[in-house]
Chain A
Amino acid sequence: MMVVAIVIAAGLLILAALCALYRIARGPSILDRVLAIDVLLATIGGALAMDMAVNRHLDNVVLLVAISVIGFIGSVTVARFVTDRK
């Protein structure tokens, strides 16, 4: 039962990552891209946490925090330097 749940959750995460990647590639403005990058990072963090839960180890906790720091700094920096559209 656990294996089925893991496969379903992994498939859903892959779908979410693909949606975010599409928006990163397509996004009309840089703010949309930043937002999509945040979602992609959250999805990657979720995948890391799922790996830790399933295989019962703690190797990725630091990476999880680092990913949230990267998302925060990246989006704040881009939001600070974004230019006017019109």
Chain B
Amino acid sequence: MNETVIDALTAVFLIGGALMSVAAGVGLLRFPDLLTRMHAATKPQVLGLLLFLLAMALQLRSWVLLPVLLVCWIFMLLTVPVSAHMVGRAGYRTKHMRRDLLSMDELDEIVEKAASKRAPGRNPTERPDET
């Protein structure tokens, strides 16, 4: 009885994690530009991995394993936002996105204000390209 419940939960977690991956794949195929694809792509990296690791923990059932899985997940949780930030930033700077799909661009005002403050005589659309 107990074993059956655990197996059923494991099955649910495995299929849920796989569905997250499929959602990311379909999002990559269907969405029109970089920023919308980034929105879809982060699903399996955090929630999908969490579901798979929970399935692992349920099947292996040892307390020693739990910190290892937690470290594995927290590491992913720390690195995914950094890489997403870098990719989104590079995409914004190098114009790898479709502006006509944006309903609002709050960063644009800030960038222009900063550019005009730093060099009043310069063209405000020209952005400094240091990191």
Interface positions of A (Cβ within 8 A of B): 1-2, 4-6, 8-10, 12-13, 15-20, 22-23, 29, 31-32, 34-36, 38-39, 42-43, 45-46, 49-50, 52-54, 56, 58, 61, 64-65, 68-69, 71-72, 75-76, 78-80, 82-86
Contact = CB atoms under 8 A, between A and B. Distances in A.
Given A22-B29, A49-B53, A80-B131, A38 B41 contact: yes
Contact of B87 (A6, A52, A75): A75
Interface of B: 7-8, 10-12, 14-15, 17-19, 21-22, 24-26, 28-29, 34, 37-38, 41, 44-45, 48-49, 52-53, 55-56, 58-60, 65, 68-69, 71-72, 75-76, 79-80, 82-83, 86-87, 89-91, 93-96, 131
Name the prevailing secondary structure of the A interface residues: helix
Nearest to B28: A23
